[in-house]
Amino acid sequence: MKKSYLIIAFGLAITTQAQTPQEVAKITSDYDIPKLTALSKDFKALAEKEKASAMVLAKQNGWPITIQNPDGSFSELIKVIDDAPIYYSTSNVNAARSTRTNFLNSGGALGTNLDGNNMKVHVWDGGGVRSTHQELTGRVTYGDSPNISILSNNNHATHVTGTIIAKGITAIAKGMATKASATTYDWTNDLSEAMAATTTGMLLSNHSYGIGESPSNPIPDWLFGAYNADSKNWDYVMYNAPYYLMVASAGNDGLQNYNDTPLAQGYDKLTHFKVSKNSLVVANAQDAVIDNNGKLISVNINNTSSQGPTDDLRIKPDISGNGTDVYSTYYTTNIAYETLSGTSMAAPNVTGTLLLLQEYSRNLNGVFMKAATLKGLAMHTADDFNVQGPDAISGWGLLNGLKAAKAMSGNGTTSIVDERILANNESYFITVNSDGVSPLEASISWTDKQPPSVQETASDINENTPKLMEDLDIRIIKNATTYYPYKLLTATTNGLGDNTRDPFEKVTVNNASGQYTISVKHKGTLIGANKAYSLIITGITSPVSSGKMALADDKKETGNQNAQIITVGEAVINSVNSNSGFNALTMYPNPTSSLVTLNLANGKIVSLSIMSIDGKIVNIKMIDAATTADLDVSMLEKGIYIVAVQTNDGKTYSEKLFIK
Ligand SMILES: [Ca+2]
Ligand SMILES: [Ca+2]
Ligand SMILES: [Ca+2]
Ligand SMILES: [Ca+2]
């Protein structure tokens, strides 16, 4: 988003008419539209085939096609997996202002006046929305071709859509984005319809439903937590449309134990798109206690919220919204309202708030954020609760729209929100000053490619091979200390260390003070030449310097036959500051054409790097902590270079080197 500063003036000029054809064109400019359109057709054919064979088996086995459940939820047969009928069910239950969304709205303390102006959300649900409701009128359109269920089972869909966009004629039913519009769909063919909607610039969709289980309709145990074909297909959609983020309810089986073979008792309850890598899965938190400044005082999980994680121990659910006792629009009349609870209500609370953050991005920068940025921002700034750090019940914590918005507006000064590219075999580093008050936190987030294989039979039960395709890594480094990201150690415990499973990593340094270097690297070989990722840093006063280095594998180097070994733990990633002490670093002879000797007055050299004048690394060498180092520079072409040395006490010195 760095670049976007250049077009702030333009951004302001277009804010009153955004999500125009030009906006859509901008979102989809890197999309392969013919491919997405073809995929949409393929997914439609797949869904129709699955549904047709399910209908045949339903007739043979006497399975119901639709079910009105005693708790008011609605289920519909969609396919058969492993001989079991698979139903989509609404995730009934209750949302509110716990997510600090009110700070963003018109009249809110942040002064951002975000109400969803010219923003559109997409809602898939178990029936139609009552578009004539006084809170919604004129702002709901149907996205799928006329469907019988538009006329029925619309209580849930109407409630969910109201939570996102209700106007607030009845104040306590006011939605998150009172001026936004919604395109709503029946859940039949959701995958195909979502794929098609990405070509129209879809940014966010809400899915308050999932595969339902009940004692009378058991699903195979292996499906729980499994990355199956459905999980993969939704990742496929999001990978190919990187501005699109799917928000899904975790489900309301927190107190049920339908899975007889869970990763841990009371866990391992997620299925389908709730197991996808790129979706944002929402747990249900009770009403939070928030002070006047938007600070979280206390919050508890609703114990009906479904627990993760995934079989490969990815952190799911991702985040918590407020879905307990949510008052919203109801279907019975145009002035009807109802209070409901559940992850079904927590998801639209999150979706609506994220829509406002996209609106804010457009207002600030003239561009929308990539889905990975939005998702990363939401998880990075969430208020941690339940056990310390992320967990398989509450995810990264309770969504904090206020903190997310502040991270966006502070970009470049008190925070970094940056959409970056990591080249193959490259690492990025940035040195920052901690603000000395709040924790220093740094995250990376990316949209990960669908893996080649999935879990598809009972033999794949709890199969835990990482489904991650591109493994990026973030660290925070200060002197000899390296701070690692969170990860799950088991279904019920978290810890710090190298994370090889999640497409989001966050490192926290509590009681931070002074200067830190943040590094972003990758393992293996990136799938494309360049990997897009989002970097988010908070708790800083100002970035000091940044740069790139070649990765620590000299075998992968090209065009530099003399590349030196550059792996010594994390110490290689160091900044090149302009803080060279007077005569601290001397080099001789200078100019030179063959060998140069470096001498350090104070401290010992642990690494040195040579950069071209435009900042490109041409050589890096690790030194075994010495005050003097010799460097062969005979391969360098004539010109001016910068030599930087990193010392064992964390200092960096740089000097110009002339090659003759
Ligand atoms: Ca549909
Ligand atoms: Ca499992
Ligand atoms: Ca937590
Ligand atoms: Ca990693």
Per-residue pLDDT, 572:
30
Distance of CA 226 from the midpoint of ligand 2 (Å): 6
Which tokens belong to 4? Answer: 């976007």
Residue 521 and residue 552: Cα distance in Å, rounded?
9
Active-site residue list: 125, 156, 344
Average of per-residue pLDDT across 13-30: 71
Question: How far does residue 339's CA lie from ligand 4's centre (Å)?
Answer: 42
- pLDDT, one tens digit per residue, over 194-220 is 999 999 999 999 999 999 877 777 899
Q: Angle 401-409/343-365 helices, nearest 10 degrees?
A: 20
Give the Å distance between the CA of 212 and the centre of ligand 1. 18
Ligand nearest to the CA of 40: 1
pLDDT at position 581 over 90: no
**What is the pLDDT, as a whole number, of residue 10?**
34
What is the predicted pLDDT for the residue at 97? 52
Q: Which two tokens stand for residue 420?
A: 């970056």
Reported confidence tier of residue 18, pLDDT bands at 50, 70, 90: very low
pLDDT at 520: 95
Give the residue, 164 or 549, on which the prediction is more confident.
164
Q: Which residue has the higher pLDDT, 477 or 584?
A: 477
Least confident of 368-372, 511-515, 639-643: 639-643
Residue 576's pLDDT is: 32
pLDDT at residue 158 tops 70: yes
Instruction: Among the bound ligands, name the one nearest to the CA of residue 468.
Output: 4
Torsion of CA 49, 51, 55, 57, to 10 degrees: 70
Query: Is 505:405 a contact under the CB 8 Å cutoff?
Result: no
| Tens digit of each residue's pLDDT (9 = 90 or more) over 454-484 | 999 999 999 999 999 999 999 999 988 999 9
Q: Is the dihedral of CA 173, 177, 182, 188 positive or negative?
A: negative
- Distance CA(297)–CA(295), nearest Å, equals 6
Average pLDDT, the chain: 85
Tell me, in angstroms, the distance from the centre of ligand 3 to residue 492's CA: 11
Q: Which residue has the higher pLDDT, 328 or 655?
A: 328
Rounded distance from Cα 146 to ligand 1 centre (Å): 9
**Separation of alpha carbons 473 and 453, rounded Å:** 23
CA-based R_g, the chain, Å:
26
Q: Is 272 left (phi over 0), alpha (psi -120 to 50) or beta?
A: left
**What average pLDDT does the segment 90-99 reach?**
55
264: pLDDT confidence band, cut at 50, 70 and 90? very high
Distance (angstroms) between ligand 4 centre and the Cα of 649 equals 27
- 109 alpha carbon – ligand 3 mean position (Å): 27
Greatest C-alpha distance within the chain? 89
Which residues fall within 8 angstroms of residue 328, CB to CB, at 6 or more apart? 95, 159, 160, 162, 163, 166, 173, 175, 337, 338, 340, 345
Q: Residues near 333 by Cβ (< 8 Å), separated by ≥ 6?
A: none
**How many Cα atoms sit within 13 Å of 135 on the Cβ side?**
32
> Over 90: is that where the pLDDT of 383 sits?
yes
At residue 617 the predicted structure's pLDDT band, cuts being 50, 70 and 90, is low
How many angstroms separate the alpha carbon of residue 125 from the centre of ligand 1?
Answer: 9
Question: 397 C-alpha vs ligand 2 centroid, how far in Å?
Answer: 23
Q: Identify which ligand lies nearest to the alpha carbon of 126.
A: 1
Average pLDDT over residues 133-150: 81
Model pLDDT for residues 58-73, shown as the tens digit of each residue: 999 999 998 877 766 7
Q: What is the Å distance from ligand 1's center to 189 Cα?
A: 5
551 vs 488 pLDDT, higher one: 488
Looking at residue 556, its pLDDT comes to 33
Q: Is 219 helix (H, G, I), strand (E, B) or coil?
A: coil
Cα 187 to middle of ligand 1, angstroms: 5
Smallest-distance ligand from the CA of 508: 3
Q: What is the CA(298)–ligand 3 centre distance, in A?
A: 12
> pLDDT digit string (tens) for 520-574?
999 999 998 799 999 999 999 977 777 776 544 332 323 332 222 222 222 232 3
Strand (E) or helix (H) holding 208: none
Predicted confidence at residue 272, as pLDDT, reads 97
What ligand is nearest to the CA atom of residue 189? 1
Helices (H), 166-249: 190-198, 229-240
pLDDT of residue 522: 94
More confident residue, 161 or 74: 161
Percent of the chain residues topping a pLDDT of 70? 86
Token match 């990593």: residue? 505
Which ligand is located closest to the Cα atom of residue 521? Answer: 4
Give the least confident one: 70-74, 229-233, 298-302: 70-74
What pLDDT is attached to residue 334?
Answer: 93
Q: Looking at residue 151, what is its pLDDT?
A: 57
Measured in Å, how far apart are the chain's first and last C-alpha atoms?
40
Could you tell me whether strands 181-186 and 120-125 are parallel, antiparallel, or unpaired per DSSP bridges?
A: parallel
Return the sign of the alpha-carbon dihedral for residues 454, 458, 461, 464.
negative
- pLDDT at residue 307 tops 80: yes
CA–CA dist 289, 294 (Å, integer): 9
Q: Is 301 left (phi over 0), alpha (psi -120 to 50) or beta?
A: beta
State residue 499's pLDDT score. Answer: 98
Fill in the amino acid letter for 535: L
Q: What angle, rounded to 10 degrees, do the helices at 155-165 and 343-365 form?
A: 30
Residue 649: closest CA among 600, 611, 610: 600
Q: Convert 300-311 to b/e letters by CB count within 10 Å (16 or more is b).
A: ebbebbbbbbbb
Residue 286: band (very low, low, confident or very high) from pLDDT cuts 50, 70, 90: confident
Residue ranges of alpha helices (H) inside 278-366 are 343-365
Identify the nearest ligand to the CA of 315 by its number.
3
Question: Domains in the chain, please, with CATH?
Answer: 2-409 (3.40.50.200), 559-660 (2.60.40.3080)
Written as six digits, the tokens of 157 are 């869909």
Ion ligand 3 neighbours (CB, 5 A) are 384, 386, 391
Q: How far apart are CA 398 and CA 391, in angstroms?
A: 12
Residue 601: C-alpha distances to residues 627, 628, 650 (Å): 7, 9, 15
